[in-house]
Structure 1
Amino acid sequence: MTLTPQPLVSSPPLPRLCLAPHAGGPRAIDGAWWPRSYDPLVELPGLLAGLPRTWGHITSVMLNGAVWSSAPGRMFVAGQVVRLRMSLTATAAHTVVLLAPGRGRWDLLVVPPDTTEEAAKPIMESVTGARNVVAPTPLRAVPRARS
């Protein structure tokens, strides 16, 4: 009799995430996230696991429905239900909104998955700057990785 080894259960890869410091009041963008794909069922568990505990339990995530692949209205992450909402507004094209009741709302700039590392790094680091001037518009011209 031959025993087949059990497949290793791997945890999601660490999210490529850069958060802005919260000193100095509210910000337009709270951080930048560089997902590996536009599949929310694959990407969101890693993102939510990588957020600071002080943000509390994220119960709702708003994504751009024109960019992200379709997803059910809810998903189960880390033993809790997270509601997924899709938006088609132009202002949300390159952002994801995270909501935690009683804790707040956080808006993250989404760097397109096919962006090169060379182009993504300065975008992600820009959210930690004192002025936090990060706009979604320049992302349309970001160099893409070659297939």
Structure 2
Amino acid sequence: MTAFAPLLSARLSLMPKATLAGLLDGAWWPRSRDLAVELPALADALEGHYGRITRVTVNPTHWPVVPRKVSATGHTVHVGWFTEQDPDKMILLSYSVGRCDLLVIPPETQPASAARLMTAAALPGSILTADVLMSDEAATERRTRNSRSGEDAWETEGGAAPPPLRHPVVGARMIALPGNPRR
């Protein structure tokens, strides 16, 4: 008897049901850029919310291989690609609910950034596109990196301000202190 490793669940954030619709229905953070491996777990995770996912479209920019069909639990998902589609968005179709648009967060994204993106993509009534969310997050990361470089400099200097520059005092007189004879 062969034992199989359990499939990892999809990292997914969806807009709550019965809320004001936005441009995106949520976000998905795959663990790799292999659609054949990642898509079954996503289709399974969405089934309770959107029904059986039958078709998916992606932009091939971030996917090295776009298979025509992917086997999911008990059915096949047909996969298409369009270069005109936002590279950071995936469109999923089901017979029962219709369409679901998800922000696709790159697998190599840091957890803090992914958490911010997943929250922002699932905000009810949001008018932000996948492209805008990714651009905003990239700007946030740049600002964070720049502020960290200042903190890193502070830490490497011992956490203290640099010593003041020393300037020679010209024309100063030495004053003898009591008990300290002048030589």
Same fold (TM over 0.5): yes
Q: Quick check: which one's helix share is greater?
A: 2
2:121 alignment partner, one of 113, 119, 127: 127
Q: How far did 1:86 drift?
A: 1.1
Moved over 4 A (4+): none
Q: How far did 1:133 drift?
A: 4.2
The residue that corresponds to 2:4 in the other structure is 9
The residue that corresponds to 2:144 in the other structure is none
The structure-2 alpha-carbon separation of the partners of 1:25 and 1:129, relative to structure 1 and needing over 3 Å to count, comes to closer
1:36 alignment partner, one of 31, 50, 55: 31
Q: How far did 1:73 drift?
A: 1.0
1:108 counterpart = 2:99: no
SS of equivalent to 2:116: helix
Equivalents in 2 of 1:30, 1:130: separation in Å? 9
Which entry has the higher C-alpha Rg, 1 or 2? 2
1:56 alignment partner, one of 51, 58, 62: 51
Q: Greater relative contact order (Cα 8 A, min sep 6): structure 1 or 2?
A: 1
The structure-2 alpha-carbon separation of the partners of 1:107 and 1:8, relative to structure 1 and needing over 3 Å to count, comes to same
Q: Quick check: which one's strand share is greater?
A: 1
What runs of 5+ residues in structure 2 fail to find an aligned partner? 142-183
SS of equivalent to 2:6: coil
The residue that corresponds to 2:66 in the other structure is 71
Equivalents in 2 of 1:64, 1:104: separation in Å? 20
Deviates more, 1:133-142 or 1:25-34: 133-142
Give the paired residue count: 138
Q: How far did 1:138 drift?
A: 4.3
SS of equivalent to 1:120: helix
1:86 counterpart = 2:78: no
**What TM-score comes out, normalization by structure 2 length?**
0.67
SS of equivalent to 1:28: coil
Query: What percentage of residue pairs aligned between the two structures are identical?
Result: 31
The structure-2 alpha-carbon separation of the partners of 1:15 and 1:102, relative to structure 1 and needing over 3 Å to count, comes to closer
Deviates more, 1:95-104 or 1:46-55: 46-55
Q: How far did 1:54 drift?
A: 3.9
Alignment RMSD: 2.2
The structure-2 alpha-carbon separation of the partners of 1:15 and 1:75, relative to structure 1 and needing over 3 Å to count, comes to same
